[in-house]
Amino acid sequence: MERASQVKLLILDVDGVLTDGRIILDNEGNEFKSFHVRDGHGIKLLVRNGVEVAIITGRTSRVVERRAQELGIKEVYQKCYDKVVAYTELKEKFSLIDREVAYVGDDIVDIPVLKRVGLPVAVSDADSEARRHALYITEKGGGRGAVREIAEIILRAKGVWEKILDGYNKT
């Protein structure tokens, strides 16, 4: 909770974190991804409460751009093969240090960033090597509420979760 309370930026991988890792392609070249609505709500709650959210992914997809826009995620790095480069740019842009950043990943390509951030997170169904580098492993799987889970942890650690709940309980 101590580390979560310091988070000012949450960085997310896409395939295997915001989705269950499956990529569906049709004969016309369209790509389909499935996102969990509660993950999206968790992201919106973070943004509304002053936590920046960014995406770093190795693939390029129009659907990722669209989902990011829907959720208010302004920092989207696609076709990023060296995630540390994007991570460093984000830290500089927001004038942050490592301990103020959380990263959620699921595979070995995420290890270099997981090793640098203050709150390294792996989803429950992540690759075992990625899990070894995580301080926290979610109970939920990628694309199945894992991002919402970490969003709640961050918001609880910052002392705003009860206020959020109060807002919903009053309506």
Q: Classify 12 as helix, strand or coil.
A: strand
What pLDDT does 55 receive?
Answer: 98
**Mean pLDDT of all residues in 24-32:** 91
Query: Is residue 29 pLDDT above 90, yes or no?
Result: no
In whole angstroms, give the CA distance from residue 65 to residue 81. Answer: 17
Strands 31-32 and 24-25, bridge-based pairing: antiparallel
pLDDT band at 39 (very low <50, low <70, confident <90, very high): very high
Strands 52-56 and 9-12, bridge-based pairing: parallel
**Domain ranges, ordered by start, for the chain:** 2-170
pTM equals 0.95
In whole angstroms, give the CA distance from residue 109 to residue 125. Answer: 15
What pLDDT does 171 receive?
Answer: 62
Phi (first) and psi of residue 118, to 5 degrees: -75, -30
Residues 2-170: name the CATH superfamily: HAD superfamily/HAD-like (3.40.50.1000)
In the structure encoding, which two tokens stand for residue 4, read together? Answer: 């979560």
In the structure encoding, which two tokens stand for residue 79, read together? Answer: 């076709």
In whole angstroms, give the CA distance from residue 118 to residue 107. Answer: 18
Lowest-confidence range among 24-33, 92-101, 102-111? 24-33
- The answer to whether residues 80 and 90 touch, using CB atoms and an 8 Å cutoff, is no
In whole angstroms, give the CA distance from residue 127 to residue 106. Answer: 6
pLDDT band at 167 (very low <50, low <70, confident <90, very high): confident
In whole angstroms, give the CA distance from residue 113 to residue 44. Answer: 23
Q: What are the residues whose beta carbons fall under 8 Å from the beta carbon of 77, sequence distance 6 or more?
A: 54, 55, 56, 57, 83, 86, 89
In the structure encoding, which two tokens stand for residue 62, read together? Answer: 């129009």
What pLDDT does 87 receive?
Answer: 98
pLDDT tens for 50-82 read 999 999 999 999 999 999 999 999 999 999 999
Supply the DSSP symbol for 141: P
